[in-house]
Chain A
Amino acid sequence: MTENSLDTAGRQAAADEASGAQAAAPTPGAPHAVDGRSPSTVVKAPPDGARPPRRTLGRRAVTFADSLWRPALVLAVFFAAWWFVAAREYVPNYLVPTPGQVWETMTTQWSELARHTLVTLYETVLGFVLAAALGLVTAVAIAYSRTLDKALYPIVLFAQVIPKIAIAPLLVVWFGLGLTPKIILAVLIAFFPVVISGVAGLRSTDPELLDLAATMGAGPWRTFRKIRFPNALPHLMAGLKVAVTLAVVGAVVGEFVGASEGLGYVLLLANGNLDAPLLFADLILMSAIGIVLFVLVEIAEALLIPWHASRRAGVSLTTS
């Protein structure tokens, strides 16, 4: 019960901020600018007088820790198993190094590894951002225009079914060994889920809401900004989460084909030298990039669409 009301309060506060920022934008000094916080909040308090407690930093930390301990446990078991297998040399160490060896490589070569990680991170983020922007524009074009729908959709689909890995060498031939082909590859891979989710989201607007907008005399831009786009956000965020993890793949594959820096390049080196600890360290860093970026998109999602059913913390009895 306490948990529940707590969550409602948090969600509501977030929702208010979001809607306040994007929509009502109360003018400072206008009579209503204050009423949200002070007088009406008192009226709003439930009759039993229990004002929902604020979400303090401590409570946030507790929630965070609560969401973390289960995966942490699984990871710990995995590490223990890995360590056991490697230390006992059930598998030779040049194939599976011990966690200690990996840790040592990680620390001794840290400055080098950090540099390569930054390169891959840069390619991934840039690729992802470009894919998100291009994907969104394409989705809008497809959702709004029947002609563009017919013209673009097959091409988008065609571009998707070409194995990206197969065109990586071509990109290197065209754009050289620099960062460009990696970024392009990341864009190409991450683009598709953004388009698909964007189109699905934009098309899912309740026709009644569009009718409503029409009776308000609103033009297409206002309708897009205030109704269709926010309505599409839940879909779009799901697509972005897929896209961000794929962008890492794109960047690394680009580095495989021809590069002088980046985690993909290091992986090839380590492989060639049969340097298993370095290989493992490299893999860990790659996954770390994916996980961190994914979490960032999750956080963006929580901030943007706290109102959506998928983000409501309220306990539902139907779990199916």
Chain B
Amino acid sequence: MTTAPAATGTAIGMSGLTVRFTTRRSQTTALDDVSLDIEPGEFVTIVGPSGCGKSTLLKIVAGLVKPTSGDVSLLERPVRGPQKEIGFVFQKAALLEWRGARANILLQAEMRGMDRAQAARRADELIEMTGLTGFEKALPHELSGGMQQRVALCRALLHSPPVLLMDEPFGALDALTREQMNAELHRIWRETGTTVVLVTHSIAEAVFLGTRVVVMSPRPGRIIRTFPVELPAHRDYAQVMSDPRFDRLATDLRGLLGSAAANH
């Protein structure tokens, strides 16, 4: 289903995005004039302080939130409503509590009317890959937080979407599993050529996975800077961690995030 996207053009285009939420009590500017173009096959990671509008940004791209002003396009088409050429991993796992892990993953196939047998095979692959074997039938409340997130990840990957939007998908994982999942995701990205936008609070994760790291300011969220990650396309976790370029970039990011928070 994944067709290697054309090398030209943008996978995701955002220009001048501003979002204001008006509630009964207050008005919040979540995003302020955000512009970003993402090419097909890129892996963009977004870091920024809590509440700066990262989740909102992903939801705009998915067509789930309408920006107050500005334009978004996905795969060269303007975003006017919910988009379905994507896999979305929500910040909360958002599982159906009456379905077992495997049935939750297969929801994707059922909602899209995909071929049953093929989807089932793919689901089993993903379950194995994410280490959920043995928990196929476990209901969400019987799974740990990290396992729930892995189920959500499998669900987002089931249909091999050309664009993957991930909102802190590994937030609830322990460090070791997180590294493994990072390596897995890196491999999937390399093999499929999927365009990925991933929001994270972990600088290491942002650098290891990204081809570009976008740093956002505290609310109202703006893009302060984007860093290209000068690491080989094919990465190995241990190697990257000991790479001096990794250290330098991580230090820069930490400094920038720290000063942004301090200036606020």
Contacts and interface: CB of A to CB of B under 8 A. Distances in A.
Query: Do A and B actually bind?
Result: yes
Interface of A: 8, 12, 15-16, 18-20, 23-27, 30-32, 35-36, 40, 43-44, 206, 208-209, 211-218, 222-223, 226-227, 230-231, 305, 307-309, 312
Nearest to A309: B141
Given A31-B121, A44-B134, A19 B100 contact: yes
A27 B119 CA distance: 11
A211 B110 contact: no
Contacts of A24: 102-103, 106, 110
B176 interface: no
A44 B139 CA distance: 14
Contact of B88 (A12, A40, A212, A307): A212
A15 B107 contact: no
B92 interface: yes
B111 A31 contact: no
Interface string B117-154: 10011011000000001111111011000000000000
B89 to A, nearest CB: 10
B94 A208 contact: yes
A212 B134 contact: no
8 contacts: A12-B138, A12-B139, A20-B103, A31-B121, A32-B120, A212-B94, A214-B81, A216-B108
A12 B137 contact: yes
Contacts of A43: 133-134
A309 B142 CA distance: 12
Interface of B: 59, 62-64, 81-84, 86-88, 90, 92, 94, 96-100, 102-103, 106-108, 110-112, 116-117, 120-121, 123-124, 133-139, 141-142
Contacts of A23: 99, 103, 106-107, 110
A215 B84 contact: yes
A23 B87 CA distance: 21
A217 B84 contact: yes
Contacts of A217: 82, 84, 111-112
Given A12-B137, A43-B134, A215 B86 contact: yes
Contact of A40 (B116, B120, B133): B133
Contact of B120 (A15, A18, A26, A312): A26
A211 B120 contact: no
A219 to B, nearest CB: 9
Contacts of A214: 63-64, 81-82, 84
A305 B112 contact: no
Given A12-B137, A212-B90, A308 B98 contact: yes
6 smallest CB-CB distances across A and B, nearest first, come from: A217-B84, A214-B82, A216-B111, A218-B111, A307-B98, A215-B88
A277 B64 CA distance: 67
B211 to A, nearest CB: 24
Contacts of A20: 103
A215 B64 contact: yes
Nearest to A8: B142
Contacts of A208: 90, 92, 94
B151 to A, nearest CB: 12
B95 to A, nearest CB: 9
Given A230-B96, A307-B99, 16 more contacts: A12-B142, A23-B106, A26-B120, A27-B116, A30-B120, A32-B124, A35-B124, A211-B82, A214-B63, A214-B81, A214-B82, A216-B84, A218-B111, A218-B112, A226-B111, A308-B98
Contacts of B139: 12, 15, 307
Contacts of B83: 215
Nearest to A43: B134
